[in-house]
Amino acid sequence: MASNNLPRGLSGIAGEYFVAGELSRLGYIASITLRNTKGIDILVSNATATRQIAIQVKTNQGSRPEWVLNKEAENFYADNLFYVFVNLKKPEERPDFYIVPSKFVADFVMTDHQEWLETPGKKGQDHKDNPVRQFRNPKQFLERWDLLGL
């Protein structure tokens, strides 16, 4: 492959497998869901099956810790739902994992998008509403597997 970047579909799948592998390495039971499971990529439980959670995986391949979401993320949250944002690096490097409660993501993307709408564009023009949302700079969530509460 001439480039280090994978096609978008493959990078998403790679991210899911990296997360499932890391969860397994940490001693949890991780099952990747079928493609038709809306909003949940991995179901996870502790080894005694006394606690279960759902994970939505988002993967990027850039140097910036930012990911594109859609408007639905503003209302997609539950106490047992988490996002794991994966930043794929060079093939020989371990990815970065950001473990974020879904409510935090929902609040962030809603507030961030509203601020973007209220801020004039480069030429002073109004921004037009659209379904694109961004999640970025989650430094405080790097490797925070403990937040899963498993």
CATH number at residue 50: 3.40.1350.10
Element containing residue 72 per DSSP (H, E)? none
In a domain, 1, yes or no: no
Please give the pLDDT value at position 4. Answer: 65
Q: What is the pLDDT of residue 87?
A: 96
Query: Is the confidence at residue 15, as pLDDT, over 50?
Result: yes
Q: Which residues form the domain of 121? A: 8-148
Domain annotation covers residue 96: yes
* Amino acid at position 126, single letter: D
Query: Do the domain assignments include residue 3?
Result: no
For residue 73, tell me if it sits in a domain.
yes
- Domain count for the chain: 1
More confident residue, 35 or 101: 101
CA distance 97 to 55: 12
Residue 2 maps to a domain: no
- Please say if the pLDDT value at position 16 is more than 90: yes
* Per-residue pLDDT at 3: 46
The b/e string for 34-48 (b: 16+ C-beta within 10 A; e otherwise) is: eeeeeeebbbbbeee
Say what the pLDDT of residue 146 is: 97
How many contiguous H segments (helices) and E segments (strands) does the chain have? 2, 7
pLDDT bracket for residue 1 (50, 70, 90): very low
> Can you tell me the distance from the alpha carbon of 49 to that of 131, in angstroms, rounded to the nearest whole number?
37
Q: Give 80-120 pLDDT, tens digit per residue.
A: 999 999 999 888 899 999 999 999 999 999 999 999 999 99
> What is the pLDDT, as a whole number, of residue 142?
97
